[in-house]
Chain A
Amino acid sequence: MNDSQKEPASKFQLRNVKAWYGDNEVLHGVDADIPEHSVTAIIGPSGCGKSTLLRSLNRMHELVDGARVDGQVSMDGVDIYGPKVDPVLLRRQVGMVFQKPNPFPSMSVRENVLAGARLTGTYDPSRADAIVQRALTQAALWDEVKDRLEAPGVSLSGGQQQRLCIARSLAVEPTVLLMDEPCSALDPIATTRVENLVHTLKQDYTIVIVTHNMQQAARVSDRTAFMLSGDLIEFSDTIQLFKSPSDPRTEDYITGKFG
């Protein structure tokens, strides 16, 4: 663990990670170190396995019938697929934001933020107000919704709903935030808001974001991973990957020759 002092510590270490849906191998052995307190973007053409890789980091992949993961993923040096690891506890550390904003329809804005505490049995009424305000502020949503906390979560605009979902994830105090194309259902202004948010959140969190949008990857991330048909082709500093990619396939992709 102590092999290098200057490199930023890695949050995740992936070694030969493979993933299947049934008999279909969709990740063919991915090796990567994801640094702590930074934004890592995953780009690549549709179906190349970006979501699958992301979902292997909080063990959501295995929730699909017949899906499994092989290889080693460690977080803070702990093998998260180890026999003693409870995936439920892991997911409290590793929050996830999905492509489509999915606030719980039966809950108000406030209840949505507190849903994690309620669902995990850690709800504490005396801290509830503080949690709601902190999470919504972190998600840059507080000013917009502070007067309508009791309104249904689904009554917000799409962009607000997505930030509500981010607040909901932050409220359980994870250390990692996984985001799977969080802006693809949003308009440009809402997208900018979420991007700015990602930028500020990286001080406290490790963020991994899947995106179809290369400009977005370039804007928000410190490091970028380029994937192609289940292989990690290139993983380097974002500026370097976009300016001088070392693999010709990366170059073809970012210059729009395919994908």
Chain B
Amino acid sequence: MGSPLSSSLQAAEELPVSARGRAPATGLQLEGRPLRAERLIEFGLFGCAFATVLTTVGIVATLAMEALGFLREVPLSALLLDTAWTPLFVEKHFGIWPLVAGTLLTSAIALGFAVPLGLLAAIYLAEFAHWRTRRILKPALEVLAGIPSIVFGYFALVVLTPLLQEVVPGLAGFNALSPGIVIGLMVIPMIASLSEDAIRAVPGGLREAAFGLGASKLATIFRIVLPSASGGIAASAILALSRAVGETMVVAIAAGQQARLTLDPRVPIETMTAYIVQISMGDTPTGTIEYRTIFVVGAALFLMTLMMNVISHRLTRKRGAA
């Protein structure tokens, strides 16, 4: 057992030495220049990559400058300590929490709906579905992800809300519940697909070990596979959260436009994104303090989603390294 191992090690050591020694003897021509066309292509590609970075930097810089400009006129304390958001009223209040609450409420409803369903779909796809079933189901899920969000918005407003009003007493025509559920529908494919990847990435050896101990398939999935995939699953949920927080159309259409500090899902609310739409599309003159609020809201939104994406990225990276 020892001898073949050591001889193969020797061979591996010898190879580069002999190759180095032989090169000049055979007169191998190794010097040369990369083609000019190749350099041009490389430069072009670099330009493209650089342009995207530049755009991002530009957007972030604009956002930051406008937000800072706003903070010169309205102190940060007014933003964080006030509980009312009424920049368009005569008596102006700039407390951002009602918008944050509206955003978190619709996002929480979305995730409460989408995480269990998406995870179950992922488990089914990864562990139970015949490959033929999977070949039909996965593209179908992706089609769901490809429906324009304006369609989802109208679905929430004209189909789901009336349906929900039958069962939920006191549900207003505009509310957080219906758009929350619809955003959940929109992010299910993302959670299902990313969680399926995480489940598939669990080494087969762990499944075999569990089966070898006499574990049933369900016990293996819930006690071995899912805990091992938990990092990737959490990452998918956070990415979905970031998507839900940033979702605009559905809430702009179906949630109402009343910034309100509440956790009641039945009444009209306003999210950060919906507020930005309201001001950008409305007749608020640019340059005024009312108009500038959208940048501070946008900056807050950007920070929130950035944080979530970073956490999600960390979680997947840690899985990959383990």
Residues of chain A at the chain B interface (Cβ within 8 Å)? 58, 60, 63, 65, 88-93, 95-96, 98, 100, 102, 104-106, 115-116, 118-121, 165, 168-169, 172, 188, 213, 215
Given contacts A118-B223, A119-B224, contact A105 B212 (CB under 8 A): no
8 A-B pairs with least C-beta separation: A92-B214, A119-B215, A96-B212, A116-B213, A102-B205, A91-B214, A119-B219, A102-B209
- Please report the C-alpha to C-alpha distance between residue A192 and residue B216 in the assembled complex, in whole angstroms: 34
Nearest CB in chain B: distance from A107 CB, A: 9
- B212 A104 Cβ-Cβ under 8 A: no
Q: A118-B223, A119-B223, A213-B1 are in contact. Are A172 and B205 (CB under 8 A)?
A: no
A106 to B225, CA, bound (A): 10
The verdict on B300 contacting chain A, using a C-beta distance below 8 Å, is: no
Determine the chain B residues whose CB is within 8 A of the CB of A115 once the complex forms. 210, 213
Interface residues of B, count at CB 8 A: 22
Complex CA distance for A96 and B205, rounded to whole angstroms? 12
Complex Cα–Cα for A152 and B10 (A): 36
Known: A105-B322, A106-B227, A115-B213. 17 other contacts (CB 8 A): A65-B131, A88-B215, A88-B216, A91-B213, A92-B213, A96-B212, A100-B205, A102-B205, A115-B210, A116-B215, A118-B223, A119-B214, A119-B215, A119-B219, A169-B212, A188-B2, A213-B1
Instruction: Pick the residue among B212, B223, B227 that contacts A60 (CB under 8 A).
Output: B212
A170 to B224, CA, bound (A): 19
B318 shortest CB reach to chain A, Å: 12
Interchain nearest-CB distance for A159 vs B (Å): 16
Shortest distance from the beta carbon of B229 to any chain A beta carbon, whole Å: 10
- CA of A168 to CA of B2, assembled, Å: 30
Main secondary structure of the interface of B (DSSP, over half): helix
With A105-B322, A106-B228 as given contacts, are A119 and B212 in contact (CB-CB < 8 Å)? no
A119 to B224, CA, bound (A): 9
Name B's A-contacting residues (CB within 8 A): 1-2, 131, 203, 205-206, 208-216, 219-220, 223-224, 227-228, 322
Q: Are A102 and B208 in contact (CB under 8 A)?
A: yes
Once bound together, how far apart are the Cα atoms of A172 and B212, in whole Å?
10
Closest to B230 in A: A106
Q: With the chains together, A100 CA to B212 CA distance in Å?
A: 14
Q: Tell me the bound Cα distance from A58 to B211 in angstroms.
A: 10
Contacts A/B (CB < 8 Å), 5 sampled: A63-B211, A90-B214, A91-B211, A116-B214, A120-B219
Query: In the assembled complex, how far is the CB of residue A176 from the closest CB belonging to chain B, in whole angstroms?
Result: 11
Q: Which residues of B sit under 8 angstroms from A105, Cβ to Cβ? A: 206, 228, 322
Tell which of A91, A118, A213 touches B212, judged by Cβ atoms closer than 8 Å: A91
User: Does B208 contact A60, Cβ atoms closer than 8 Å?
Assistant: yes
Contact pick for A58, options B1, B209, B210, B212, CB 8 Å: B212
